């Protein structure tokens, strides 16, 4: 085994179609996988442990299994890792769908491949799937906490560099909603913009004049700023670090004239009380910036 054996054009069309249908760019995912594999196999080197201990033609069944309860994501990416490394030796026997809720001990993907290539790909495949499943699982806990309310959980741009598309995909797998993807998707007027512009209203009006077709959200820290923005027609307002009573007042004042998003150090324990204030969204940076990886492992079975 000496680096990726499958080019992008050699990957199965159905796998690429599934990745595309998930809202991901298959070529971008492939490039990210190749970069990750280069960390394990720099400059065309080999997996010395697997080469030394395993006969070249040996084949094994590999069970990717969950060690805990949660929601899985990134199994399609893990499958692409295996396809890149294992090439035509790989057969995927079964795989649960991303977004599925699984239990400890459950097999989430079963494959057959040459043993060397399977073990070479193991860690990279697990790194993708474990990280993304951790995000999906964390998101699902917020979704469960908000069940029965009208509020939805949002992610943020607090993502690992280079991982944004995958991490936001994992949020969707967990039942969450994506906020803006880039700085050009939506204008987000935060406290430093407000300071630089001389207030929430001047900041809002400058963005509206410069980019009349771009959605605008403005952060407020008190009800006076909220009232001022409503008067000039701002349709999306972020309530920053407000207590529940203030947020309830904000919802009453707004009376449906704008979408309200709660943000600022919110915890899962507080999720339901915040949702009951009547806000539309709760944004949680911790979904991506502080997530615990989900415990997945590979168990080899008898030789195939």
Q: Element (H or E) spanning 281, and its range? A: strand 281-283
248 labelled catalytic: no
Long-range contacts of 197-202 (CB under 8 A, 24+ apart): 199/228, 200/225, 200/228, 200/229, 201/228, 201/229, 201/232
Give the integer Cα–Cα distance in Å for 168 and 136: 9
269 labelled catalytic: no
123 labelled catalytic: yes
Full 3-state SS string of 24-40: CCHHHHHHHHHHHHHHH
Chain centroid, CA 229 distance in Å? 32
Check 101, 141, 158, 272 and give the catalytic one.
Answer: 158
Give the integer Cα–Cα distance in Å for 203 and 133: 38
Check 190, 243, 252, 292 and give the catalytic one.
Answer: 190
Nearest to 63 by CA among 298, 304, 295, 296: 298
Check 219, 225, 261, 280 and give the catalytic one.
Answer: 219
Token pair of 234, please?
Answer: 């701002």
Nearest to 236 by CA among 264, 262, 202, 209: 262
Check 18, 59, 110, 123 and give the catalytic one.
Answer: 123
CB 265 within 8 A of CB 238: no
Q: Where are the alpha helices (DSSP H) in the chain?
A: 13-21, 26-40, 48-53, 75-86, 115-146, 164-173, 191-197, 200-210, 223-231, 244-254, 271-275, 286-289
Contacting residues for 196 by C-beta, under 8 A, at least 6 apart = 203
Question: How many helices and strands in the chain, by DSSP H and E?
Answer: 12, 12
Check 38, 63, 205, 240 and give the catalytic one.
Answer: 240
292 labelled catalytic: no
63 labelled catalytic: no
Question: Which residues carry out catalysis?
Answer: 123, 158, 190, 219, 240
């Amino acid at each position: 085994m000496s680096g990726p054996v499958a080019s992008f054009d050699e990957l199965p069309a159905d796998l690429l179609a599934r990745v595309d249908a998930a809202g991901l760019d298959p070529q971008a995912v492939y490039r990210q996988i190749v970069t990750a594999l280069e960390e394990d196999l720099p400059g065309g080197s080999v997996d010395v442990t697997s080469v030394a201990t395993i006969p070249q033609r040996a084949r094994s069944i590999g069970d990717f299994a969950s060690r805990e309860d949660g929601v899985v994501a990134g199994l399609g990416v893990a499958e692409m890792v295996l396809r890149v490394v294992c090439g035509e030796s790989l057969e995927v026997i079964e795989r649960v769908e991303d977004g599925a809720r699984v239990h400890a001990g459950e097999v989430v993907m079963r494959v057959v491949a040459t043993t060397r290539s399977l073990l070479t790909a193991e860690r990279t495949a697990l790194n993708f799937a474990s990280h993304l499943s951790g995000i999906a699982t964390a998101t699902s806990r917020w979704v469960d906490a908000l069940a029965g309310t009208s509020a939805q959980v949002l992610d943020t741009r607090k993502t690992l560099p280079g991982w944004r598309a995958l991490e936001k995909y994992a949020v969707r797998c967990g039942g969450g909603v994506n906020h803006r993807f880039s700085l050009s998707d939506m204008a987000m007027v935060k406290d430093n913009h407000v300071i630089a512009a001389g207030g929430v209203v001047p900041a809002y009006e400058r963005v509206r004049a410069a980019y009349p077709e771009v959605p605008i959200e403005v952060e407020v820290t008190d009800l006076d700023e909220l009232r001022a923005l409503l008067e000039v027609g701002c349709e999306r307002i972020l309530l920053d670090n407000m207590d529940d009573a203030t947020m309830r007042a904000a919802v009453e004042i707004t009376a449906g004239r704008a979408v309200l998003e709660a943000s600022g150090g919110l915890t899962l324990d507080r999720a339901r009380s915040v949702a009951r204030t009547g806000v539309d969204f709760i944004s949680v940076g911790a979904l991506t910036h502080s997530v615990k990886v989900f415990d997945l492992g590979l168990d080899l079975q008898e030789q195939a």
